[in-house]
Amino acid sequence: EVQLVESGGGLVQPGRSLRLSCTGSGFTFGGSAITWFRQAPGKGLEWVGFIGSEAYGGTIQYAASVQGRFTISRDDSKSIAHLQMSSLKTEDTAVYYCSRGSGWCDYWGHGTLVTVSS
Amino acid sequence: EIVLTQSPGTLSLSPGERATLSCRASQSVSSSYLAWYQQKPGQAPRLLIYEASTRATGIPDRFSGGGSGTDFTLTVSRLEPEDFAVYYCQHYGSSTRAFGQGTKVEIK
């Protein structure tokens, strides 16, 4: 069974950093792109960025709203991807999801809540 | 930047009825890069349709997608109780991805 599990969310003050993790199982993690999305409370879905598989050069792309502040990485030996978030703003408050794929995404984690507040 | 506009914002229907959801792009997009997702409260989105008209694994055939250019449609032929949810369209381009604002399908 394909599973993706996010972790690392929590309450953080504006300007601080936080790292989210996404652990995959039940599929060839190293052969899959991983995409991060977020959803602010009561709002719609927003693409954050993705990291391609190493076989496709490990391409990384970010949404303009997080470019320069967020960094996506992966460790295929551990079937884990990370979303390093820095210089956090209150508007980054959201549930963060990781998913499999780079375009359409067929499996999603349950999400982890990040609250940016003083 | 491609903007996706979904309509209507809310669709009030009864079980057994047909639901037709619209997604309009601000410029022509390839059908290969259009997907639809369903999201229920407190749950992650679920992929329904990709490449505009291909059902994802395990998706019932009452769900169908179509369209091209700037106008795309998701149709649920006969609504089941579990189909009442929010639906999002998504475009996946070469350097960005965009979602529509969502259509809520609620029980009338």
Alpha carbon of A88: minimum distance to chain B alpha carbons (Å) = 21
In degrees and rounded to multiples of 5, residue A61 shows phi and psi of -135, 150
Neighbouring CB atoms inside 10 A of A77's CB total 8
Does the pLDDT value for residue B89 go beyond 90?
yes
Contacts of A47 in chain B (CB under 8 A): 96-99
Q: How far apart are CA A61 and CA B87, in angstroms?
A: 25
Task: State both tokens at B74.
Answer: 């998701």
* Rounded distance between C-alpha atoms, residue A28 and residue B52, angstroms: 26
Place of tokens 């009030």: B12
Count other Cβ atoms within 10 Å, centred on residue A49.
Answer: 21
Compute the average pLDDT of residues B15-28. 96
**pLDDT for position B32:** 85
Give residue-wise pLDDT tens across range B39-65: 999 999 999 999 999 999 999 999 999
The one-letter amino acid at A49: G
Rounded to whole angstroms, the Cα distance separating B102 from B104 reads 6
CA angle A55, A50, A72 (to 5 degrees): 95
Q: How many CA atoms lie within 13 A of A27 on its CB side?
A: 19
CB contact under 8 A, A111 and B44: yes
Question: Measured between CB atoms, which of B39, B47, B98 is closest to A104?
Answer: B47
- Express each pLDDT in A41-51 by its tens digit: 999 999 999 99
Average of per-residue pLDDT across A23-31: 96
The strand pairing partners of A116, in sequence order, are: A12
Q: Is B66 helix (H, G, I), strand (E, B) or coil?
A: strand
| Per-residue DSSP letter, A104 | S
Q: Give residue ranges of B with CB < 8 Å to any A CB.
A: 33, 35, 37, 39, 43-47, 50-51, 56-57, 88, 90, 92, 95-102
Site from A27, A37, A45 to mutate, B interface, most B CB atoms within 10 angstroms:
A45
Report how many Cβ contacts below 8 Å link chain A to chain B.
51
Assess whether pLDDT exceeds 90 at residue B96.
no
> Could you tell me whether strands B103-107 and B10-13 are parallel, antiparallel, or unpaired per DSSP bridges?
parallel
